[in-house]
Structure 1
């Protein structure tokens, strides 16, 4: 009784690949793609009108809020009280302006925090701090 691969010594091993199954699969895939591609590219032919006007680009309003070293608040260049600032922020919140906050370097921190809290309560989402670059 001999154990082995089941081949007789005079038989050579088959070293060629059988390409027929690979070619069959590729042809089936090719036929499927040829059938489904026209279905994917179907579209309704619509003659769209052309517009001669340029789209209107609306830039958000930029409002500069300033706090001086004495803790006084300014809307653009106008001196305002806390109640006036709150009213202006609520009115401006509908347009969602971009706020630029300028604070004196010697201003007490509480004045800046109170102004930022009013901006947040008004629902304004864009607030930027204006600084001078260091030398």
Structure 2
């Protein structure tokens, strides 16, 4: 028994399906994801913080601001008053460190001053325990 074939279709192979069926793969992936989520241990550790209770104290008065300028020749100027030598600067820094509320020290070096003079002021302040030191006038060093 022979079957009749359509003319012209005798020499052709049937079309091959090239698409993969991804539905079972997605199902397997979802099952693995659910298993992973179930097996991850729950994070139970916590950070204990001591939070303040009650009314916070009123803010303190702003600290005194001391401006120390270092001129181009290495002379020191304390709030507009020219100091005769570095020993006088040390005495004033000691007095500032001895106060109950330390002052803010604003250090304003001249553009032409040697770094040694500026570093000496900063080292003296740090050695005496003054911690609130800031450099003023940094914009002059940009140019």
Relative to the length of structure 1, the TM-score reads 0.51
Quote the residue 2:119 is aligned against: 117
Q: Over aligned residue pairs, what C-alpha RMSD do you find?
A: 4.6
| CA displacement, residues 64-115 of structure 1 (integer Å, 9 cap, x when unaligned) | 1235799753312444232111343466579594423275x9xxx4xx4364
Scaled by the length of structure 2, the TM-score of the pair is 0.49
- Separation of aligned partners in 2, 1:30 and 1:61: 63
Contact 1:73–1:80 (CA under 8 A) maintained in structure 2:
yes
Structure 2 unaligned blocks of 5 or more = 1-10
Q: Which runs of 5+ in 1 are unaligned?
A: 1-7
- For residues 139 and 36 of structure 2, the distance between their equivalents in structure 1, rounded to whole angstroms, comes to 64
Which one has the largest radius of gyration? 2
Q: How big is the shift at 1:39?
A: 0.8
| Aligned-pair CA distance for 1:23 | 1.9
Q: Report if the CA contact (8 A) 1:74-1:80 is conserved.
A: yes
Using the TM superposition, name which of 93-102 and 79-88 deviates more: 93-102
Partner of 2:6: none
Q: CA deviation at 1:62?
A: 3.3
1:31 aligned to 32, 35, 40, which one?
35
**Alignment size in residue pairs:** 115
